[in-house]
Structure 1
Amino acid sequence: MTDRPMPTEAGILAFHKRCEDFYPADAVDADITQQRAWYDALCAAFDAPAPEGMVKRDGLVAGRIPVRRYRPAEATRETRLFYIHGGGFVVGSLESHDAICAELAGAAGAELVSVDYRLSPEHVWPAAFDDCWAVLVELLLEGHPVVVIGDSAGGNLAAGIVLKARDEGLRGIAGQALVYPGLGGDLVSGSYVEMVEAPGLSTADVAYYREVYRAPEDAVHAFPLRAENLAGLPPTFITGAHFDPLRDDARAYAARLILAGISVEYREERQMIHAWLRARFMSEGAKNGFAALCDAVRRMANP
């Protein structure tokens, strides 16, 4: 067995240990209901109060898709932020990323909308994608520029709906911010091999989530790296984690966007593991990475 790649930053190691403690040794064999319960408990343990004066309001889009709107006390931007949570298309909710969304809205001075899209395996491709697309269209119809943001599986959905908006000629997307996104890499080379047993997410985990999601291989919006043409996309911020099998998805997408003439800001958090957003109060690297994300979103919201 090869040595497991591990960062050396004490804060992120402590974060990883705390996350691991939420799952028993045989967690991989648990059913989806139990997996969600463990994930919800983990997320709750890393919760944080919203910025002072933040107003939250829950509602529905298209009469069925739950969303939550975050309005900062000083909402100085006309731009709307649209956040799509991660969780392998299997776990996650409005609650799991509530604090992250509130802090992003506050940092950007802009109203943010998050979506509770349908999850697999109960709802396979394109259910989650269609839910996110419906919310994006609704936001664009409101007449405000939109910045689309997503982490992990949410980064996949964010990149996919932005591609579809380009394909269908929809205007009004001011930017996209993708955080350790899974974008359709081949699973057998690069970081998928180098970080096959990375802490927090393994290549086997990625393969499992793809299998459960059941997107067909020719669905380009489900695998944005497979798109032949990336021209015409909005300004993009991409941040990856070094100790993550998805690392090279972020690298490759950033490189291809640059070659297509897109304005790109790329960061690789050298000591970070997958899901480091949740470590922003424990790890200096995560704190700095989150600050960079907030700064990029703030700039996109105020072009």
Structure 2
Amino acid sequence: MTDYTKLIDAETWAFIERTNSYYPPDTIDYTVPQQRAIYDRMCREFFAGYPKGVTAETTVIAAPTHDIPIRIYRNATPNPAAMVLYVHGGGFILGGLDSHDDVCAELCACTGYEVVSVDYRLAPEHLHPAAFDDVLGAFEWAARTYDCPVLLCGDSAGGNLCAALSHATRGRAKKPIGQVLIYAGLFGDRSKGPGDRLRDSYVTHAEAPMLTVRDIEFYKHIRTGGVDRAGDITLSPLADTDFANLPPTVLITAECDPLSSDGEAYRDRVVAAGGRAWWFEEPGLVHGYLRARHTVGRARVSFTRIVEAVSVLARGDWTW
């Protein structure tokens, strides 16, 4: 059993305990509407406000069958070299424009880039591939609307959707200039035996604070309605057999997170296919640590790394 008293420092434990006070570990056993209410309240409690000079506009993208809500963040001193399409986490059933509102505002403030946050449809009301279709639609809108390159950035479920989008668009004339994937669930084949690196964190950190393997399986099941979609790369990007021609990728994972090995495995496959990918595992951090960026030193350092990754990839400077 992993000894988290040695891996996790006091600041991070304080963040975990504060999170659990709003979002108890057994929330996964509640109804989806109850989970959303609890999650939304937690996000409000952690809301850090907007940095000076950042404004936001909430609007919609008109799609053939429905509107896709988005929020556009602009900096008083804009950097027009690129724009960032941000895709939020929440296990495919939680979150929206408000859950990651301050994160997007700070990303805009730190980089100068315009940031567009996508409010994709959630399960179980809208099963896979609804969320993927919305993110793809938002990317196509951004590629038509902006005269600059589009960079993808997403955390957790949002990182999954960003990677799936990169795989789906790599043969197109307009495709992402890069992607920054933050503790993303990329869901490869975990059926191999001991020693397979893809399984390591799923075993070592199966009962990690903030996210367990049981939680992950619940989110995967509810996203598909229980239908077996093995091999569907729009659901599980690591299930792809071809990792060539993907955009330069930065993967940032938390050490104490079952999903950590997904980042390493994805990096290795992109590099093996001749692409550019960098993987950073943040020591002693847990899933969802973006909300700790103002109170936990390790999370603050990681958020600086995320900002740097966005800036580096967006300007096409892929050396680290």
Tell me if TM exceeds 0.5: yes
Kindly state the Cα deviation for residue 76 of structure 1 after the two structures are TM-superposed: 1.8
The residue that corresponds to 1:190 in the other structure is 200
Kindly state the Cα deviation for residue 28 of structure 1 after the two structures are TM-superposed: 3.2
Q: Does the 8 Å contact 2:179/2:250 carry over to 1?
A: yes
Q: 1:207 aligns with which of 204, 208, 217?
A: 217
Q: 1:295 aligns with which of 298, 305, 308?
A: 308
Alignment of 1:123-272 (within 5 A): 123-142=126-145, 143-167=147-171, 169-187=172-190, 189-214=199-224, 216-272=229-285
Higher relative contact order, structure no. (Cα contacts within 8 Å, ≥ 6 residues apart): 1
The residue that corresponds to 2:77 in the other structure is 74
Kindly state the Cα deviation for residue 4 of structure 1 after the two structures are TM-superposed: 5.7
Q: Aligned AA for 1:97?
A: H
The residue that corresponds to 2:87 in the other structure is 84
Alignment of 1:36-55 (within 5 A): 36-55=36-55
Kindly state the Cα deviation for residue 3 of structure 1 after the two structures are TM-superposed: 5.2
Distance in 1 between residues matched to 2:281 and 2:178, nearest whole Å: 19
Distance in 2 between residues matched to 1:245 and 1:24, nearest whole Å: 18
Q: Aligned AA for 1:41?
A: R
Q: Aligned AA for 2:70?
A: V
Q: Does the 8 Å contact 1:149/1:176 carry over to 2?
A: yes
Distance in 1 between residues matched to 2:8 and 2:180, nearest whole Å: 27
Q: Deviations over 1:200-243 (max 9, x none)?
A: 00001000000001171121121111111111111111101110
Q: Does the 8 Å contact 2:202/2:258 carry over to 1?
A: yes
Q: Deviations over 1:163-207 (max 9, x none)?
A: 10114x242421100000000134563111111100000001000
Q: Aligned AA for 2:254?
A: A
Inter-CA distance 192–26: structure 2 relative to 1 (3 Å threshold): closer
Distance in 2 between residues matched to 1:222 and 1:38, nearest whole Å: 26
Is the deviation greater in 214-223 or in 282-291? Answer: 214-223
Distance in 2 between residues matched to 1:261 and 1:24, nearest whole Å: 43
Alignment of 1:107-126 (within 5 A): 107-126=110-129
Is the deviation greater in 12-21 or in 216-225? Answer: 216-225
Distance in 1 between residues matched to 2:220 and 2:165, nearest whole Å: 18
**How many pairs are equivalent?**
301
Q: Does the 8 Å contact 2:205/2:212 carry over to 1?
A: yes
Q: Does the 8 Å contact 1:180/1:239 carry over to 2?
A: yes
Distance in 1 between residues matched to 2:143 and 2:75, nearest whole Å: 20
Alignment of 1:95-114 (within 5 A): 95-114=98-117
Is the deviation greater in 203-212 or in 141-150? Answer: 141-150
Q: Does the 8 Å contact 1:241/1:273 carry over to 2?
A: yes
Distance in 2 between residues matched to 1:187 and 1:96, nearest whole Å: 30
Inter-CA distance 201–34: structure 2 relative to 1 (3 Å threshold): same
Q: Does the 8 Å contact 1:151/1:179 carry over to 2?
A: yes
Distance in 1 between residues matched to 2:168 and 2:84, nearest whole Å: 18
The residue that corresponds to 1:57 in the other structure is 57
Q: CA RMSD in A?
A: 1.5
Q: 5+ residue gaps in structure 1?
A: none
> Is 1:277 matched with 2:290?
yes
Distance in 2 between residues matched to 1:101 and 1:252, nearest whole Å: 27
Distance in 2 between residues matched to 1:83 and 1:36, nearest whole Å: 20
Inter-CA distance 97–25: structure 2 relative to 1 (3 Å threshold): closer
Distance in 2 between residues matched to 1:197 and 1:104, nearest whole Å: 31
Q: Does the 8 Å contact 1:243/1:274 carry over to 2?
A: yes
% same residue? 39
